[in-house]
């Protein structure tokens, strides 16, 4: 309504202004706001009705056959098929509720999400949380054909997982990878997935921000933010550019109600490619390079003391002996500004850029040492497992009941993204509602001693917990701080 009221007034004003006014209007129409993308293509604001009526349909037709629905379930088979009279009544007259028992008394949990075909042989990328704890997976193509799928790789650190259709049909259309680094704030993008299980849906929006951190859905905090509507069920679906290329995997939303508030996050395609390549190579895990240095953020005070205009980069706080960082000559106090020419503004950006480099060859760090800018070559190699993990699942009555423990090593420290002492037993996981959880043990804690006796290995800890005691004195290294606590037996 405002546009209709305003337009006649504008036309009248131009007519009153005479030829000069009309010429000005024509000149402005010939000079749209333009910009050049990194790939050399022109970007322009729509000026005419014809421009506004342009459609995204060709992009959707190109991309949508590559987006699939992922149906995952975890079924615990029960040998006793008997069910109570009430359970049988509810099943027959109201149907099997989600997460309940099947007709044979099997216990089932179910999950619904989306995925993207990335290989003509049936390789699919999705979010790990879509298939977490699931043992049966089915893939539904855009044309509604369904196929059983196998879980090829789970990568909890990126919240990504790779599936493979067991008997892939001919004619699968994989989605080509795009370039997330070429995205700019304001670029159009589309989210394709299966929100709320209603079927394949396309939403459109813009890139709201880049390199978002502190989202909390994965270890690597480096996300594309978009206002394209993303809802439950979109997880694992595609974020595509206007060429129909994959630029991200939709993974999280910011919401207090569970619905879309226009703040969605996608994992950049660079990380997606690294996980897919690991699966193609037959790896069960994604191997990432080890730096062997502890880094920290640059505060405004640190930036000012180093003569920087603004806080940027990451500061080397400490080095592990004989690590790639140590052998390359990095020093405490060095400021890492770039990885292979890509600027890193904070520890999250550094972690993302360095993780993409793989475990072969070298990466070149641009650093600031004092007032001198230098380049340092870092050898790319995985963190060594200097001693066997010897996984221990404590089952005897003790403060460690319900905890999974492993021997410390650089490989374990890199996986958990924490610094460990050379000796000790690391807490790898803690079961919910277990004794270990109730006494406050946390993932990443390192057990140093039990009742005054050092426990450098899981075998030592196993021996220390074989007898039931009335009290337990436990020394723990938590993020470099030594805590000693006494627990009841």
Is 310 an annotated catalytic residue?
no
Measured CA to CA, the distance from residue 121 to residue 170 in angstroms comes to: 8
Is 159 an annotated catalytic residue?
yes
Contact of 168 with 144, CB cutoff 8 Å: no
Task: Look at residues 199, 239, 204, 252 and name the one whose alpha carbon lies nearest to residue 68.
Answer: 199
Classify residue 61 as exposed, middle or buried by CB count within 10 Å of its CB (0-12, 13-18, 19+). Answer: exposed
Measured CA to CA, the distance from residue 200 to residue 61 in angstroms comes to: 12
Measured CA to CA, the distance from residue 3 to residue 12 in angstroms comes to: 15
Measured CA to CA, the distance from residue 317 to residue 395 in angstroms comes to: 39
Q: Locate 297 and state its tokens.
A: 């953020």
Residue located via tokens 């919401």 = 255
Cα distances (Å, whole numbers) of residue 177 to 32, 59, 248, 432: 31, 14, 9, 39
Q: Which of 64, 111, 114, 129 is catalytic?
A: 129
Q: Which of 73, 111, 114, 159 is catalytic?
A: 159
Contact of 393 with 404, CB cutoff 8 Å: yes
Residues in Cβ contact with 417 at an 8 Å cutoff, skipping those fewer than 6 apart? 157, 219
Angle (CA) 285 344 244, round 5°: 65
Q: Which of 64, 66, 235, 398 is catalytic?
A: 235
Residues in Cβ contact with 256 at an 8 Å cutoff, skipping those fewer than 6 apart? none
What sign results for the dihedral spanned by CA atoms 326, 328, 333, 339? negative
Measured CA to CA, the distance from residue 149 to residue 156 in angstroms comes to: 19
Measured CA to CA, the distance from residue 270 to residue 253 in angstroms comes to: 20
Measured CA to CA, the distance from residue 185 to residue 35 in angstroms comes to: 13
Measured CA to CA, the distance from residue 155 to residue 135 in angstroms comes to: 16
Is 129 an annotated catalytic residue?
yes
H runs (alpha helix) in 55-117: 57-63, 85-94
- Any idea which residues carry the catalytic annotation? 129, 159, 235
């Amino acid at each position: 309504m405002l546009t209709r009221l305003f337009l006649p007034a504008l036309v009248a004003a131009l007519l009153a202004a005479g030829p000069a006014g009309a010429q000005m209007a024509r000149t402005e129409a010939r000079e749209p706001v333009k910009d050049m993308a990194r790939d050399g293509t022109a970007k322009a604001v729509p000026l005419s009705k014809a421009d506004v009526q342009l459609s995204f349909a060709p992009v959707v037709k190109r991309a949508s056959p590559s987006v699939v629905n992922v149906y995952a379930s975890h079924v615990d088979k029960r040998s006793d098929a008997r069910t109570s009279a009430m359970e049988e009544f509810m099943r027959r007259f109201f149907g099997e509720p989600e997460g309940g028992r099947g007709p044979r008394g099997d216990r089932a949990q179910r999950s619904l999400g989306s995925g993207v075909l990335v290989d003509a042989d049936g390789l699919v990328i999705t979010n790990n949380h879509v298939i977490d704890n699931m043992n049966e997976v089915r893939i539904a193509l855009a044309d509604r054909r369904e196929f059983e799928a196998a879980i090829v790789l789970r990568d909890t650190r990126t919240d990504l997982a790779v599936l493979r259709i067991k008997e892939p049909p001919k004619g699968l259309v994989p989605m080509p990878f795009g370039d997330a680094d070429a995205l700019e704030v304001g670029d159009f993008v589309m989210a394709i997935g299966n929100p709320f299980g209603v079927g394949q849906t396309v939403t459109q929006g813009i890139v709201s921000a880049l390199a978002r951190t502190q989202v909390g859905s994965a270890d690597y905090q480096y996300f594309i933010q978009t206002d394209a509507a993303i809802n439950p069920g979109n997880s694992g679906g595609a974020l595509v550019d206007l060429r129909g290329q994959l630029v991200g995997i939709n993974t999280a939303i910011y919401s207090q109600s569970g619905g879309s508030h226009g703040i969605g996050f996608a994992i950049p395609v660079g990380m997606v490619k690294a996980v897919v390549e690991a699966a193609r190579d037959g790896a069960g895990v994604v191997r990432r390079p080890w730096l062997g240095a502890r880094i920290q953020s640059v505060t405004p005070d640190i930036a000012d003391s180093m003569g920087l205009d603004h806080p940027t980069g990451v500061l080397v706080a400490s080095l592990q002996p004989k690590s790639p960082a140590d052998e390359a000559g990095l020093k405490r106090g060095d400021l890492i500004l770039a990885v292979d020419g890509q600027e890193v503004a904070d520890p999250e950006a550094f972690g993302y850029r360095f993780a993409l480099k793989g475990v072969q060859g070298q990466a070149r760090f641009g650093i600031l040492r004092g007032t001198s800018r230098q380049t340092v070559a870092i050898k790319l190699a995985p963190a060594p497992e200097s001693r066997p993990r010897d996984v221990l699942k404590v089952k005897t009555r003790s403060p460690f009941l319900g905890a999974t423990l492993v021997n410390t090593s650089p490989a374990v420290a890199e996986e958990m993204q924490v610094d460990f002492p050379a000796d000790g037993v690391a807490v790898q996981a803690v079961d919910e509602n277990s004794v270990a959880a109730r006494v406050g043990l946390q993932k990443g804690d390192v057990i140093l001693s039990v009742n005054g006796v050092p426990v450098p290995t899981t075998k030592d800890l196993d021996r220390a917990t074989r007898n039931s005691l009335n009290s337990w004195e436990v020394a723990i290294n938590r993020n470099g701080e030594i805590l000693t606590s006494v627990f009841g037996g």
